[in-house]
Structure 1
Amino acid sequence: MSAVQFQRQLGLSRYETAFGILHKLRAAMVRPERDKIGGKPQEHVEVDETWVGGRTRGEGRGVHHKVLVSCAVEVRRRKPGTKLDNRKDGRYAGRVRLAVVPDRSANSLGSFVENAVAPGSLIVTDDWSGYAGLRKRGFDHHAIAECGDPEIAEEFLPIIHLVFANLKTWINGIHHGVSAKHLQAYLNEFTFRFNRRFYPFNSFRSLLGIAGGAAAPTFDGLYSGEWTHPTFSGCG
Structure 2
Amino acid sequence: MHLKEQRDKEGVVCKRCHDTEHYWLQNKWSYQYKSCNSRTSLLSGTIMESSKLSFMTWYKTIFLLSTTKKGFSSKEIQRQLGLKRYEPVWAMVHKLRKAMGQRDDRYTLEGMIEMDEGYFTVEASQQAHNTQKAGRGSKTKSNVMVIAESTILEDIDTGKVERQCRYFKAKVLDDHKSEGTDATFEKAIDGEKTIVFTDKSTSYVNIADYVEIHMSEKSDAQTTKETLKWVHIAISNAKRNFVGTYHKIKKKYLQLYLNEFVYKLNRRYFGERIFDRLVIASITANGH
Normalising by the smaller structure, the TM-score range is: 0.7 to 0.9
Match of 1:127 in 2: 200
Match of 2:6 in 1: none
User: Does structure 1 retain, via aligned residues, the 8 Å contact 2:105–2:188?
Assistant: no
Larger Rg: 2
Residues 50-108 of structure 1, C-alpha deviation per residue, up to 9 Å, x if partnerless?
11116979626xx96321111111113456279xx98xx63232110111111122111
CA distance in 2: counterparts of 1:140 and 1:90, whole angstroms: 20
Match of 2:183 in 1: 111
Match of 2:113 in 1: 45
Residue type matched to 2:90 in 1?
F
Match of 1:96 in 2: 168
CA distance in 2: counterparts of 1:7 and 1:154, whole angstroms: 40
Normalised TM-score (structure 2)? 0.65
**Residue correspondences, number:** 205
Q: Percent identity?
A: 27
Which structure carries more relative contact order (alpha carbon 8 Å, separation 6+)? Answer: 1
Gaps of 5+ in 2: 1-71
Match of 1:157 in 2: 228
Which consecutive segments of 4 or more residues in structure 1 shift more than 3 A?
Answer: 54-58
CA distance in 1: counterparts of 2:271 and 2:95, whole angstroms: 20
Matches within 5 A, 1:1-236: 1-29=72-100, 30-31=102-103, 34-39=106-111, 44-53=112-121, 59=133, 65-78=140-153, 80=155, 90-120=162-192, 121-146=194-219, 149-217=220-288
CA distance in 2: counterparts of 1:79 and 1:206, whole angstroms: 32
**Compared with structure 1, are the counterparts of its residues 118 and 174 closer, same or farther at alpha carbon in structure 2 (3 Å cutoff)?**
same
User: Does structure 1 retain, via aligned residues, the 8 Å contact 2:122–2:250?
Assistant: no
Q: How many Å apart are 1:161 and its aligned residue?
A: 0.4
Q: How many Å apart are 1:151 and its aligned residue?
A: 2.5
Residues 114-168 of structure 1, C-alpha deviation per residue, up to 9 Å, x if partnerless?
110112200000001111111123441001112xx31332122111100000110
